[in-house]
Amino acid sequence: MCTGSALFMASFSMILPELPGYLRQMGGEEYIGYIVGVFTLSAALSRPVSGFLTDRIGRLPIIIFGTVIAIVCGVSYIFLQGVTLFLLLRFVHGIATGFRPTGSTTYLTDIVPASRRGEAMGYLGIAGSLGMAGGPAIGSIIKEEFSYEAMFIVSSLIAFVALMLALQLKETLTPDQRLRSQNRKWYEVFEPAALPAAIVMLFDTFSFGVILTVVPDLMAHLGLKYKGLFNAVMVVSSILVRWVAGRASDSYGRIPLLKIGTVMLMISLATLALTDTLTVAMVGAVLFGLALGVTRPSIFAWTTDLAPEHRIGTSLSTMLLALEMGIGTGAFVSGALYANDIQNISGIFWLTFFIAFIGLLFIFFFDGIKKKNHSRQN
């Protein structure tokens, strides 16, 4: 499961740093914010459907369907030319991430004990982070040394290997779980119990959408040839802390880890806002990665803690919908504010710092209500 997830994440993330340049070749530089925005929009729209189907028909069909979409879309960039078709393909490609991660996370929840969910989410996060780190670096090298076409072909090949691994897994949805899901209506695609985790994820991932949108141009401005290096440094630092953070959330609770991670996120965004050299940018990448490594496994584990037993897939898709909304909003807003002017990037990061601060306030607010209710019960 983890190896396949790493490859899946690498397959679509490896092309991200080079897509702004690819879009410019088509004359669509004003649509740079749409590269991530359209992708996450379709992922967000498909999340409720994937969560509903994960609890109804099984985890593996969802994993396989999302991976097949990634295979087809990767190579299709070669053949679909023009800004309109490019953006349409980005929309379809986003469906892949709307399906596979939902199925994968639910599958993982099925096969690990509840007392070790944070640790398990840390492992899955490490796998995904390896893909997110290696993918952009490899993609940039392939594009620089060979061509865009070669990069797109490799993207599909990597997704194909992920599919082969997925086909080796055994379904974990039990007949009893499937039977209980049969009576659910189509409009029961959201899980209210997961809303606290979803709200935190929304504020947390706004910053990620900003990073994906404006950092490639910032790296080019600072003289970095391989623009995927920032992503690689960011994700490697995330890997270094995910395992420890996941186990810590099992021992000390999700909320304390989320407070720590969000403060780290704010520090990283302030660092990027003040960036004037490549060295400072890389420090920001390390800090941002550490923040992600602390918050992500905690949010995922918290979601499964909050979920009713027979609606884990739906709960995760509700939280993942917020993830896509955060990334997409961050991408659209930063793309519009950036307007191809490198001088605007500092202000964008300060805005993102403020968004993260609002998320921190919500965490403290929710924690305060929880403690007050607990005190009343006692």
pLDDT, tens digit, for every residue of 288-339?
999 988 988 888 888 888 877 767 777 877 887 888 788 878 888 888 888 7
Question: What is the model's pLDDT at position 340?
Answer: 76
> Mean pLDDT, to the nearest integer, of 157-176?
88
Question: What is the model's pLDDT at position 263?
Answer: 95
Indicate the residue type of 114: A
Q: Quick check: is 103 in a domain? A: yes
Q: Quick check: is 180 in a domain? A: no
We report the CATH number of the domain holding residue 340 as: 1.20.1250.20
Question: Which residues are within 8 A (CB) of 42 and not within 5 positions of it... i.e. 6 or more apart?
Answer: 90, 91, 92, 93, 94, 95, 98
Q: Quick check: is 176 in a domain? A: no
Q: Quick check: is 186 in a domain? A: no
Q: Quick check: is 177 in a domain? A: no
Kind and range of the H or E element at 33? helix 32-56
Indicate the residue type of 266: M
Q: How many domains does the chain have?
A: 1
Residue 61, token pair as written in the block: 């069909």
Question: What is the model's pLDDT at position 352?
Answer: 94
Distance CA 209, CA 53 (A): 27
Distance CA 92, CA 101 (A): 16
The DSSP 8-state label assigned to residue 311 in this structure reads G
Question: What is the model's pLDDT at position 10?
Answer: 92
Question: Which residues are within 8 A (CB) of 225 and not within 5 positions of it... i.e. 6 or more apart?
Answer: 144
> Mean pLDDT, to the nearest integer, of 47-64?
84
Do 55 and 312 touch, CB atoms closer than 8 A?
A: yes
Distance CA 50, CA 212 (A): 24
Q: Quick check: is 119 in a domain? A: yes
Question: Which residues are within 8 A (CB) of 201 and not within 5 positions of it... i.e. 6 or more apart?
Answer: 299, 319, 320, 322, 323, 326
- With 80 as the cut, is the pLDDT of residue 243 above it? no
Give 187-239 pLDDT, tens digit per residue: 566 778 888 999 999 999 899 889 888 888 888 888 877 666 787 788 788 87
Question: What is the model's pLDDT at position 159?
Answer: 94
**Rounded to the nearest 10 degrees, how much is the dihedral formed by the CA atoms of 194, 60, 46, 160?**
130
The CB density around residue 107, as the number of other CB atoms within 10 Å, is 26
Percent of the chain with pLDDT over 90: 25
- With 80 as the cut, is the pLDDT of residue 175 above it? no
> Mean pLDDT, to the nearest integer, of 160-177?
85
- With 60 as the cut, is the pLDDT of residue 179 above it? no
Question: What is the model's pLDDT at position 160?
Answer: 96
Q: Quick check: is 60 in a domain? A: yes
Name the residue with higher pLDDT: 103 or 324: 103
Question: What is the model's pLDDT at position 358?
Answer: 94
Q: Please, how many CA atoms are within 13 Å of residue 21, restricted to the half-sphere of its CB?
A: 20
Question: What is the model's pLDDT at position 40?
Answer: 77
Residue-by-residue DSSP string for 60-76: HHHHHHHHHHHHHHHHH
Question: What is the model's pLDDT at position 112?
Answer: 85
pLDDT category of residue 138 using cuts at 50, 70 and 90:
confident
Residue 341, token pair as written in the block: 């002017």
Q: Measured in whole angstroms, how far is the alpha carbon of residue 165 from the centre of its chain?
A: 21
CA neighbor of 285 nearest in space, from 118, 97, 129: 129
Do 200 and 257 touch, CB atoms closer than 8 A?
A: no
Give the structural domain span for 45.
Answer: 2-171+192-377
Distance CA 44, CA 48 (A): 8
CA neighbor of 15 nearest in space, from 82, 79, 70: 70
- With 70 as the cut, is the pLDDT of residue 126 above it? yes
Question: What is the model's pLDDT at position 182?
Answer: 59
| Poorest-pLDDT segment among 28-37, 134-143, 253-262, 354-363 | 28-37
> Mean pLDDT, to the nearest integer, of 107-134?
80
